[in-house]
Chains A and B, each alone.
Chain A
Amino acid sequence: MSAMARSRNGTLTVLGRWEAMLVLLLVLVCTLNAQLSPYFLDVDNLLDSTFTFAEKAIVAFPLAILIIGGEIDVSVASIIALAAVMMGVCADAGGGTAMIVATGMVTGLLAGLVNGWLVTSLGVHSIVITIGTLSLFRGIATAIVTNGAFATFPPGLFFFGRAYLGGRVPFELVFVLVEALAFGVLLHMTVYGRRVFVMGNNVQAARYSGIATARYKRVMFAATGLFSGIAAVFLVSRLGSVRLNIAQGWELQIITMVVLGGVSIAGGAGTILGVVLSILLIGALMFGLALINMPGLIVDLCLGVLLIGAISLPRLIALLARRRIF
């Protein structure tokens, strides 16, 4: 894709590192929020506000690695829905907490394996495959749950999405931070991570230099599926019920988190730190908009403007600078 192939070199020279811009934006949004509401800078409030994005963040990290590796998965929200529904089925069948959690994770893993297998065996661009599985997974979930709901879960399950460590810090937040650290180390400090970057830059060169690209792709899709399943565990645990529209539209928000974090959609570039910052930025923005009672669609609109603005402004500045208008 010609437009996709354009690197963000221009961005790097004009604004310094992408992460610096994200920090700047984050400070700006937090300052505005603090002006808007005296309740924003309350530690407990801030910690609780992480619930609004924690489950999406869980999926954002493996998806970031997948996108850096040159593929994409738009079916993540459908995997979350399918895993959540299977957890409901398991609970209805009398499964215990451990069984339900395992069901969610295994469902996610299987869905991810299906994606990976289809992409590598058909050799078709992953956006086409995952648009198909987006419908398929959501469709299976819909066929099972119909217009009913699963609302009875054992109390033990509620630990994941509702527990606080040390009485203040949500367990979900701790999980996200540990996950970010683990994926950060994996991507930036191991040979596996370097190979992912190589694949994202030139998948053929990667193959000719001896990287088992198909296996890497399958593992990356499986990981994205597994963590979508884990996100479903947290989500079901927090909500306590599963309905037809669970996680509807989340794929866009999760992809926004990844791309806003500076991960190149063409593959080959991006950092976990950037994704962490973009998650915090989106979280702060959503929290601020909630404080001033903005309806959901307007929140989405702001996210869209933020996404387009953050991606296009540096490019425009670079473009204008090259034409010596500045």
Chain B
Amino acid sequence: MNGRSLAQQVFTFASARREVALAAFLGVLLVAVALRAPAYVAPSNIKNVVIDSSVLCILVVGQLFVILTRGIDLSPAANLAFTGMVLAQLSQSHVGLPAVAFIVLGCLVGLCLGVVNAALIAGAGVPPIICTLGTMVVYRGLIFILSKGAWISAHDMSEPFKSFPLETWLGLPNIVTTALLVIATAAVFLAYSATGRSLYAVGSNPLAATFAGLSVRRTEFLVYCLSGLMAGLCGYLWTARFAIAYTQAAEGREFAIVAACVIGGVSIAGGKGSVGGAVLGALFISVIETALPFIKVSPFLQTAIFGAVILIAVAVNSRAERSKGRLILPSTESASLRIALSAREQAR
């Protein structure tokens, strides 16, 4: 009798805290994979999985900021590839540059590309999906112009450039430490800083946020800058980790980034989501992607399984995300508020 109510309690707790449910599911998945292929959970392999998921985790945090404000950024993968190419060329021409310089420059280059998105979206009012769809192909094209289609491979890159991500400090590879730092900073930023909270406010109800004195545009501007900055940082880490820079680097990852957020319970309608959930979503995708070869699933099946997993996760999450169908008053209210707001803007 007690057992059943306990199970119910656990279920209620788990469905209330999506992160807990997702973490539990991730654990079950790991156990299932381990039963089929024990080699997967060997410490050396787990280490590799964590290293390879670091970049995705950082990218997902950037995407989280954007999606929280009801936006979407499809350009981080292209941004990553562009920044990686710029830095790889720099490491060729300036052999003496230390790793720190590449990190700073990577962030700056990424930030610049992010500012382009931010200016178009927050400044000119271009819908985020259109803008970032456009900049995505533009950035790819720019890499092609920059590199003339050529690859930069390991032996063309300088030693400090290549070695930083996998060098260990306090027993952790730098790439993992960087990801942990970004995750921790983002979690504190979102939970405890006024600016971080304003992301939720703007995403939940832009109009109410405006009346509360928050600038929707400034918040939007900030998130696309941050997303660009993270993508730039990843541009360095990715390129140095795999020691290769080419035009199609990380192509198609934009969908994995958005999917990780969705799996992690971040609402595409804005205002809902946490760093923990998003990072768990990223880990989930990393585990699926790396485990499939271990349990001898044909690589040709991976894309289909990936798609099915996204849809299942969406279906599971949908109960929480379903829009309430009978809210007539709130929308009428928001319509009248919008009229009031536009009247105010015209008076100005």
Contacts and interface: CB of A to CB of B under 8 A. Distances in A.
Given A1-B71, A312-B124, A135 B141 contact: no
A4 B137 contact: no
B302 interface: yes
A143 B301 contact: yes
Nearest to B247: A297
Contact of A137 (B122, B135, B307): B307
A3 B72 contact: no
Contacts of B247: 297
A316 B123 CA distance: 8
B344 interface: no
The size class of the interface chain A forms with chain B is 35 or more
The size class of the interface chain B forms with chain A is 35 or more
Interface stretch (A18-26, A27-35, A52-60, A302-310): A302-310
Nearest to B220: A3
A123 B255 contact: no
B304 A142 contact: yes
A129 interface: yes
Interface in B133-148: 133-138, 140-142, 144-145
A311 B69 CA distance: 21
Nearest to A314: B124
Given A128-B262, A304-B141, A136 B307 contact: yes
Interface string A241-268: 0000000000010011001000001100
Nearest to B317: A124
A312 B328 CA distance: 33
B156 interface: no
Given A3-B71, A131-B255, A136-B311, A143 B298 contact: yes
Contact of B140 (A147, A301, A315, A319): A301
Contacts of B327: 204
Interface of B: 69-72, 120-131, 133-138, 140-142, 144-145, 149, 202, 206, 216, 220, 247, 255, 258-259, 262, 268-270, 298, 300-308, 310-311, 314-315, 317-318, 321-323, 325, 327-328, 331
Interface of A: 1-4, 6, 118, 122-125, 127-129, 131-140, 142-143, 146-147, 202, 204, 207-208, 252, 255-256, 259, 265-266, 295, 297-298, 300-305, 307-308, 311-312, 315-316, 319
Given A208-B328, A301-B145, 6 more contacts: A122-B314, A127-B129, A142-B301, A143-B300, A308-B131, A319-B124
10 contacts: A3-B128, A131-B255, A131-B262, A131-B310, A134-B255, A136-B307, A146-B298, A312-B120, A316-B124, A319-B125
